[in-house]
Structure 1
Amino acid sequence: MKKTIIPVLMLLPLIGAAQKSYTITGKINGLNEPAKVYLVTMQSNQFKDTDSSTFVNGAFQFNGSVTEPQQAALRLKRVNTPETKYRPDMFDFFLENSQISVTAKDSIKYASVNGSVADREYRDLEAIASLMRKTIARIQDEFGKKNNAGVSVYPLEIRKSAGESVQKTVEELRKIRLMFATSHPQSFMGLFTFNEVLDQKFVPTEMESLFNNFSAELKSSPLGKKTLERINIAKRAQTGIKATDFTQNDLNGKPFTLSSLRGKYVLVDFWASWCAPCRAENPNVIKAYNELKGKNFEIVGVSLDYPGSKEAWAAAVKSDGLPWIQVSDLKGWKNEVALTYGINSVPQNLLIDPQGMIIGKNLRGEALTEKLKQLIK
């Protein structure tokens, strides 16, 4: 597969349309009742109806402009047929400033689109990704089978081997996306795909070097600025650099500042009372704390609990028996410390040395104590 797929991807157009506005013309054949089409775009981080068009002889049209290509949708609403709440008649595509044509029969759900370079590149790449995701799903469905008693059909070694196959497929898909991104330095979809790779674990300095290969226009675009911001945030959590200081209130409402522990090893533990994996991990953290607390070591728990959930946070600290420092601004995923360090899943942690340098991250499991012992000399 790789020998034929990659060259095809690299032949895709590098430069999108240069015009400053879009025109979407559509035709739905066989639609025999009055209807309207709505253009749905992202507004204030939510998809909302942006414009609407009434059918004239089965045709519709939209005109406008966008600052850069973006994900959008066309939603068909029949006047005489109630719209299903969870299954609306919609078609997703990439909107850009170009002449875009949409054709469909009876329903817009399975429409075809022409004229959007970003959309065509996305669909070509997505065709490959879809095949690989199906492979992953097939392996998981087969080797995850259980009998009526709830016991796995396949022995542990075979399941482990299947898991390794899944991981290899996931990594291969990541490589394909990255190759597409780096071979399209002047393509919006190249930058968009580059951002998808950033959702995986990545080395910030390496990705910053690749990002710099994109055109100046793309780097200065809204998506380009967001991309660089993500890379810079990731830098703050990488080992070998100085930890960014922060101040948040503890459970008693008193401000705590990370740098007040300078001179000690500090494990900054990101968690939440609502996070089951975090609560399951707490016994391992307690064990590490009890064995190392007399060796110039401290833990700071940063809770990603939500507004109005201080009591739940306090109850979890008490129930789990967490004796270390606890802080939070009760903003959930918008916790200022989590945003500073690019935390988008929990549990996660950072180990900081007495000089304030990050020397480890995501140390967990039964081996947490041993890993900490190796790092804390």
Structure 2
Amino acid sequence: MQRIISFLCISIFLISCNKEKTDGFLINGNLDNVKNNSLVQLFRAEGRQTVIIDSTRINEKTFTLKGKIENPDMYFLTIEGIKGSLPLIVENETIDLTVYTDSIFASNIKGGKENNYFNDYQEFIKKIRTRSNHLTEEFKLAQQKQDTSKISSLRKEYEVMMEENDANDLNFMTKNNDAVLSGLILERALSTNKLEFTKIKEIYANFDEVVKNTRAGKVIAEYITANANTAIGSVAPNFSGPNPEGKTIALNDIKGKITIIDFWAAWCGPCRKENPNVVKVYEKYHSKGLEIIGVSLDGTPQQKDAKQAWKDAIEKDKLTWHHVSNLQYFNDPIAKQFNINSIPATYLIDAEGKIIAKNLRGAALENKIAELLN
């Protein structure tokens, strides 16, 4: 049921209005009950950082935020003393916001083209939310009673509900190709693997230029380019990065007869579990022309010393091949070149750099290497 929670969060967009023209955005907020002088902040998530766009203090249950942005996008509003943050799409227009302090997600926005799109979309989301809450409660009761038949039935009902949700998303994006929300929905879909690559390209191609020029639109365009460049049969894009000693290493400089590009991280449990298998394959086939270059996605906010964690993992797991990392987590430019959304992830390339296979592990990896080098 976790997927529906994150889905609902991203779906509760509050859209800008067109009440009065401004050079930038103007957010006029009214609250039903909150302390004077409480802090209000508008921010966006930029990689691992939080970037404050504007902030102010509440005065007599009202506040005003203003600024100028390049393109419409999703931002978040927080109010001191109120639980949670409110996602909203901000564009350079006037937004009238009514905040309900008992539930920030129930806040109301009036006006604007994007808000009209949102209201249509939100009607379906409200039904999904109600059904999801009902299923969650029934699921808890069934687990308490150890009613396996009921649990199975509820899981099927949940799957049907999510299929309806996916169909609604697809229908919305297809019909509303000029809506910023459509771009945000498609951007979210990139990490769920629910849509075939050809369908993603088709939807994006149908988007209005306004949507293509948003941040989400540009992310989708980069995804499409990277996916085309890293398809089986394509020549893998060259890349370079610093090794643990700070020396720059490029893929084209270390290629063997067969090369494994291995995306991993010290913090990644499945990666560390797979490492002994990769070590075994490397020791067996390195003399026959196998090379490996590990690309670490260390650099999470939780790592106090990401570089040391990376180096320690290399030593502990006895990974004696080439390694590079920009220590930027999933924002690593190499990860973006290869559309890496989860790890472990591997690419097999031949001596000319052509991609032969993807994401082979364990016996499947060894069997493929044996086939290619024996």
Q: How far apart, CA to CA, are the structure 1 residues paired with 2:144 and 2:371?
A: 40
2:107 paired with 1:111: yes
Q: Letter of the aligned partner of 1:183 in structure 2? A: K
Task: State which of 195, 201, 204 in structure 1 corresponds to 2:187.
Answer: 195
| Mapped contact 2:17–2:94 kept (Cα < 8 A) | no
Q: How far apart, CA to CA, are the structure 2 residues paired with 1:334 and 1:245?
A: 17
Alignment of 1:354-365 (within 5 A): 354-365=351-362
| Mapped contact 2:240–2:251 kept (Cα < 8 A) | yes
| Mapped contact 1:70–1:95 kept (Cα < 8 A) | yes
Q: Deviations over 1:212-261 (max 9, x none)?
A: 11112222334323331232233333222110112334445544332234
Give the deviation of 1:193 after TM superposition: 0.9
**TM-score (structure 2 length as normaliser):** 0.73
2:361 paired with 1:369: no
2:225 paired with 1:232: yes
Q: In the alignment, what sits opposite 1:40? A: 42
**TM-score (structure 1 length as normaliser):** 0.72
| Mapped contact 1:350–1:360 kept (Cα < 8 A) | yes
Q: In the alignment, what sits opposite 2:205? A: 212
Distance change (3 Å), C-alpha of 1:208 and 1:370: same
CA RMSD of aligned residues (A): 4.1
Aligned to 2:201, the other structure's residue is in SS state helix
| Mapped contact 2:17–2:110 kept (Cα < 8 A) | no
Q: In the alignment, what sits opposite 1:102? A: 97
Q: In the alignment, what sits opposite 2:336? A: 339
Higher helix share: 2
2:325 paired with 1:315: no
Task: State which of 255, 258, 269 in structure 1 corresponds to 2:251.
Answer: 258
Aligned to 2:44, the other structure's residue is in SS state strand
Distance change (3 Å), C-alpha of 1:325 and 1:111: closer
Aligned-residue identity in percent? 26
2:63 paired with 1:68: no
Q: Letter of the aligned partner of 2:56 in structure 1? A: S
Give the deviation of 1:140 after TM superposition: 7.6
Aligned length: 346
Q: How far apart, CA to CA, are the structure 2 residues paired with 1:64 and 1:328?
A: 36
Q: In the alignment, what sits opposite 2:88? A: 93
| Mapped contact 2:54–2:65 kept (Cα < 8 A) | no
Q: Which runs of 5+ in 1 are unaligned?
A: 1-14, 78-82, 148-152
Q: How far apart, CA to CA, are the structure 2 residues paired with 1:207 and 1:161?
A: 32
Aligned to 1:299, the other structure's residue is in SS state strand
Give the deviation of 1:352 after TM superposition: 0.9
Give the deviation of 1:327 after TM superposition: 2.9
2:122 paired with 1:123: yes
Q: How far apart, CA to CA, are the structure 2 residues paired with 1:125 and 1:112?
A: 17
Give the deviation of 1:164 after TM superposition: 7.9
Distance change (3 Å), C-alpha of 1:63 and 1:289: closer
Distance change (3 Å), C-alpha of 1:354 and 1:161: farther
Q: Letter of the aligned partner of 2:98 in structure 1? A: T
Q: Letter of the aligned partner of 1:124 in structure 2? A: E
Aligned to 2:298, the other structure's residue is in SS state coil
Q: Letter of the aligned partner of 2:360 in structure 1? A: L
Aligned to 1:239, the other structure's residue is in SS state coil
Give the deviation of 1:194 after TM superposition: 1.3
Larger radius of gyration: 1
Give the deviation of 1:98 after TM superposition: 4.5
Give the deviation of 1:96 after TM superposition: 3.5
Q: In the alignment, what sits opposite 1:180? A: 172
Q: In the alignment, what sits opposite 1:326? A: 323
| Worse overlay, 234-243 or 18-27 | 18-27
| Worse overlay, 266-275 or 47-56 | 47-56
Q: How far apart, CA to CA, are the structure 1 residues paired with 2:34 and 2:242?
A: 62
Q: Letter of the aligned partner of 2:311 in structure 1? A: A
Distance change (3 Å), C-alpha of 1:107 and 1:23: farther
